[in-house]
Each structure stands twice: as structure tokens, then as C-alpha cells.
Amino acid sequence: MKKTLVVATLLAASSLSMAATTAAKKPVSQWKCEDFLALDESYQPKAIYFAEGFNKKNKPVDAVMDMDGIEKVVPVVVQECQKAPKASFWDKLKAGWDKAKAKI
């Protein structure tokens, strides 16, 4: 029984690791929500910080980062991505900003 649990745990960990590695190898503008959700929870805000600083053509858009705003948008994006893992992360990020601003 313990052996099966250990094997299942290792398989789950390796599949998450592979998903995170796959996401890291393509531009953020091409991520699906499942790529974002595969990241460790502690890295998800960093991915949003990074994505927010670039437009869809991977060009910098602003020299100023809205730290407070990003902290508010992270849970919105996570929640929306959990509802639609195959959806565009980029679209959910943009929609997340709209929802976060509406709450302010």
C-alpha cells in the first residue's frame, strides 16, 4: 500500500513539474490557464508580475509596476483559470484586472 502511494505521489509530482517546465518554454502570451496553474503557488504572482510588464508581442509596456493591484488580481486570475483551464492565460489576466478594478 505504501509503495503504491509513493509511486502515485512521484507520478503526480513529475507531471506537475513537466507542466511547469512546458509553460516556462513558451512565451507568456501563448500560455493557457493550465500552464499558469501548473506553477507552484508561490510563483504564480511572479508570473503575473512578469506578464503584466509585457504586451502580447512580448514588448515592455510600462516601467511602473502596480504592486498593490497585482496582489489583488492574483486570486482573481487563479479563480478564473480554475474555471477554464484551457482558456488563454493572457485573456484571464486582462479580465482579472477589470474585475479587480471593479472591486476597488
Give the per-residue pLDDT at 12: 40
- What CATH number does the domain containing 60 carry? 1.10.890.10
pLDDT bucket at 23, cuts 50 / 70 / 90? low
**End-to-end Cα separation, the chain, in angstroms:** 51
Give the per-residue pLDDT at 40: 94
Q: Does the global pTM surpass 0.75?
A: no
In the chain, the percentage of residues whose pLDDT exceeds 70 is 59
| Residue partners of 50: CB distance under 8 A and separation at least 6 | 28
Structurally, the chain folds into a number of domains equal to 1
Write the pLDDT tens digit of every residue in 34-82.
999 999 999 999 898 888 776 555 565 665 556 667 788 899 999 999 9
Give the per-residue pLDDT at 68: 67
Q: Supply the range of the domain harboring residue 54.
A: 2-103
Length of the chain counted residue by residue: 104
Would you say residue 83 has pLDDT above 60?
yes
32: which strand partners?
A: 88
